[in-house]
Chain A
């Protein structure tokens, strides 16, 4: 003390050594090393979280971005056209180098020498699976004789067979001739059709850059060369050349897709509704049959009750026959509508040539999206990116989940999480209320509490097994026998479904809610309860009016934790209802609108399925990251909603407490 005062007062030089020694002692005394350790721990935790999120984000966000199409010509003559998926380095075998032409060997060796024996290669998504049997090709840099980006390279996303890469050669638009089915003479019919074709051609007239062909069997011939004996099914307008073909594609594609959507609606909803009606009638009949069997077993086949049941069965049978005829007629109507739409759509075709010179004609209705990858402006790229995201978020999957959207999975995840929350929160809160407010503290309550906490540590697959065994096989089968006997042996509730999955997850997350609620209840000040009791409130009134509202933010915290845990859980779902492809959503327009017995799709399971069960794993890999990103986003959105609600409650209950 005196030393430092003389130092500062007299301005004499300080003794650095002595002071330093004291400071280092102070450092230990202040716990600085502990602070550093804590800092390191925090940094590690942050790095892990941010690293994980960043990685998934980086990998997931770029998947849907349209990249340019590259055409490479190899020394050995092969030509590939496609998008570069990824690249890496490898050590090529000597034989590969020696197979190259002499000039290329030199350059290849130079590249290898410069990189210590490593060569660069790229994975090109070449598509055209139905022609080549391959989705991807590895191409080493030293193999390439020529590389370019052809301006008219089209990337085509199709309904089947995956992507197609090629250059458009022509656009074909067919005009059907009438069939003149009322004429029985084939020769006369041929003549009429030819005449009709000529009329169509005359109406179409002449146009620059467009030729007219008559479609007669497999051969397309010029109108003047057509043989009078040919059956002309249609007149084809043909625009030659990539630019003209592309212009026509853009003109017609929207309308064709519109018709395709309509066809899908007909198939999905109208057919579904008719099927449902027919199934309902069949079940009604089956119910009568079962009722009759039971009555005959109980009171004999000759009893009056059996006679009544038999009469009712006959009535139901008649009813079923009527419904059957009606639905059959409806089916035919829908089917003919679908056939009309298909026929109309089949008029529009795009002819393409692949990089290796093969020709291919694709119907416009099969094309989901097409774009000239090397001509896109930034704005167009963004538009394609946006439309792909829209498809991803809002459409059904196709091609074994490889393409299309994940809407059913998003829907299933959200609905399941909501049902789970609806189940787990009331039960958890009631259990916590009993434990905290009513039960007398003692060894029994302590052991119950320990058991509840341990429940949180049970592996989730165990819950899945329990859910399958108890909910599906025991409870579900019981429900089926009681209420859905007519549907047996195909199970209704006796198998995995969204209700059983939600209940299983509710069990899984119950401890989280109980623990959080108990803590929230314990945090309600005793003075508030006493105040309420002193006003003459009963215990229940105090709990309902004072304790629960005040504990609500804490209960919400429990719900948030439960949702976060439940939404991301996959293992138990695989046993109790999540499927690769669910034909119907658990909520739809058919009475009773909510179908809790249906199996469902789940994003977590979808990720697993994409990553490890798909046939084209190379193409699926980027989608895995995109789907993961989506799952994280959905869980975050659910949590943020709950957090906003909670903070509102908090503001209401905790402002201005002095």
Chain B
């Protein structure tokens, strides 16, 4: 197997053709080791993934993913459609458990606890992780009830606690000033961007350890997108954020680390600056500059 190294980048069409073999090899189903930058070794991992495989029925969606998600940093997952980045994200809070016929192998750990351990309660796990979806999904209830939903299902009834969490979360999601006078109105009356920020408020209401974002801006207009990105910037440090995005500029603007995936495999993973400006692999370069994908 011909491994490509970073020096090859930009050495001309010939090299590119030659190196194009890496993605082709992936497409053929061959094992291709991921190119992981050294900078990651210096980070404290919030989440450690080792040799993680996932099948939907007979179709393998994730191949041997091994990576760490650094604590308190924003990590972006990029890659063409169907590369498994959303699947990887949904594996972190075991949302894939709900899909029939899903099978996994390998390990995924938060701290030193194995997520897929039999003893781990998926419901407890999900309470420690907030998730924001591609399409905002406020519940058919008031703004207030939406935000405190994670506490409600825990049986919290103390009005003072709920009020406090509601305000803190909405402030955290930069939505408080816009909705503080109509907390009892239906959440479905908010604009698309507000709905998405409401979902973020809901995701951080239970003070999770991690925030999983699955293309949170893809259904939003540029102004709303801008607000969400600002928000992600503010949440940086307080939360470990794993974000899936299709938008290269967004990944470049918001994330500290970027992982490039292709057909269920991790191809290259490193600091965002390096991935976008000096990727080690020609394939990554091609993708982040929009040459394919």
Contacts and interface: CB of A to CB of B under 8 A. Distances in A.
A546 B140 contact: yes
Determine which residue in B125, B137, B202 has the highest number of CB atoms from chain A within 10 A of its CB, and name it.
Answer: B137
Interface in B130-145: 130-131, 133, 135, 137-141
Contacts of A537: 123, 149-150, 153
B67 to A, nearest CB: 22
B186 interface: yes
Given A533-B98, A545-B153, 6 more contacts: A528-B140, A531-B139, A533-B126, A534-B126, A652-B186, A658-B195
A545 B142 CA distance: 12
A7 to B, nearest CB: 46
Contacts of A549: 140-141
A653 B188 CA distance: 7
Interface of A: 440-441, 525, 527-528, 530-538, 541, 545-546, 549-550, 652-658
B63 to A, nearest CB: 25
B102 interface: no
A653 B212 CA distance: 27
Interface in B175-211: 186, 188-192, 195, 199, 202-203, 206
Contacts of B149: 532, 535, 537, 545
A541 B140 CA distance: 14
Contacts of A546: 139-140
B8 to A, nearest CB: 41
A194 to B, nearest CB: 87
B169 interface: no
A658 B219 CA distance: 10
Contacts of B190: 656
B133 A657 contact: no
Contacts of B188: 653-657
Contacts of A541: 153
Contacts of B154: 536
B186 A535 contact: no
B16 interface: no
B38 interface: no
Given A652-B140, A653-B188, A533 B95 contact: yes
B206 A536 contact: yes
Contacts of B127: 535-536
Nearest to A528: B137
B191 A550 contact: no
Interface string B151-168: 011100000000000000
Contacts of A536: 123-127, 150, 153-154, 206
Question: Chain A interface secondary structure, helix, strand, loop or mixed?
Answer: helix
B276 to A, nearest CB: 30
A160 B189 CA distance: 65
B93 A535 contact: no
B139 A532 contact: yes
A534 B140 contact: no
B149 to A, nearest CB: 6
B191 A658 contact: yes
A587 to B, nearest CB: 37
A427 to B, nearest CB: 25
Given A527-B133, A534-B95, A440 B186 contact: no
Interface string B86-116: 0000000101001010000000000000000
Contact of B192 (A534, A545, A658): A658
B123 A538 contact: yes
A652 B149 CA distance: 18
A655 to B, nearest CB: 5
A64 B154 CA distance: 63
Contacts of A525: 137
Nearest to A658: B192
Contacts of B153: 535-538, 541, 545
Contact of B189 (A530, A532, A656): A656
27 contacts: A527-B133, A528-B137, A528-B140, A530-B95, A531-B131, A532-B139, A533-B95, A533-B126, A534-B95, A534-B126, A534-B129, A534-B130, A534-B203, A535-B149, A535-B153, A536-B123, A536-B126, A536-B206, A538-B153, A545-B152, A546-B139, A653-B140, A655-B186, A655-B189, A656-B188, A656-B190, A657-B188
Nearest to A653: B140
B141 A535 contact: no
Contacts of A533: 95, 98, 126
A441 B99 CA distance: 12
Q: 3 closest Cβ contacts across the A-B interface?
A: A536-B127, A534-B131, A531-B137
B137 A656 contact: no
Contacts of B203: 534-535
Nearest to B154: A536
Contacts of B135: 527
B199 A531 contact: yes
A535 B150 contact: yes
A542 to B, nearest CB: 9
Nearest to B151: A535
Nearest to B212: A534
A392 to B, nearest CB: 45
A525 to B, nearest CB: 7
Contacts of B195: 658
A534 B93 contact: yes
A531 B140 contact: no
B140 A656 contact: no
A531 B124 contact: no
A340 B120 CA distance: 85
Contacts of A535: 126-127, 149-150, 153, 202-203, 206
A527 B219 CA distance: 14
A527 B150 contact: no
A441 B101 CA distance: 12
A537 B122 CA distance: 10
Contacts of B141: 549
A339 B93 CA distance: 85
A533 B203 CA distance: 11
Contact of B139 (A528, A654, A655, A658): A528
A342 B153 CA distance: 70
Nearest to B208: A536
A657 B135 CA distance: 11
A532 B150 CA distance: 8
B100 A440 contact: yes
A656 B123 CA distance: 31
Nearest to B139: A546
B172 to A, nearest CB: 16
Determine which residue in A440, A441, A531, A541 has the highest number of CB atoms from chain B within 10 A of its CB, and name it.
Answer: A531
Determine which residue in B131, B140, B152 has the highest number of CB atoms from chain A within 10 A of its CB, and name it.
Answer: B140
Nearest to B195: A658
A530 B137 contact: yes
A533 B202 CA distance: 12
Contacts of B138: 531
A224 B212 CA distance: 114
A314 B149 CA distance: 66
A656 B139 contact: no
A528 B212 CA distance: 16
B186 to A, nearest CB: 6
A550 B95 contact: no
Interface string B205-240: 010000010000000000000000000000000000
A147 to B, nearest CB: 71
A413 B55 CA distance: 57
Contacts of B133: 527, 530-531, 534
Contacts of A527: 133, 135, 137
Contacts of A545: 139, 149, 152-153
Contacts of B129: 534
Contacts of A657: 188
A536 to B, nearest CB: 3
B7 to A, nearest CB: 43
Contacts of B137: 525, 527-528, 530-531
Nearest to B138: A531
Interface in B230-280: none
Contacts of B202: 531, 535
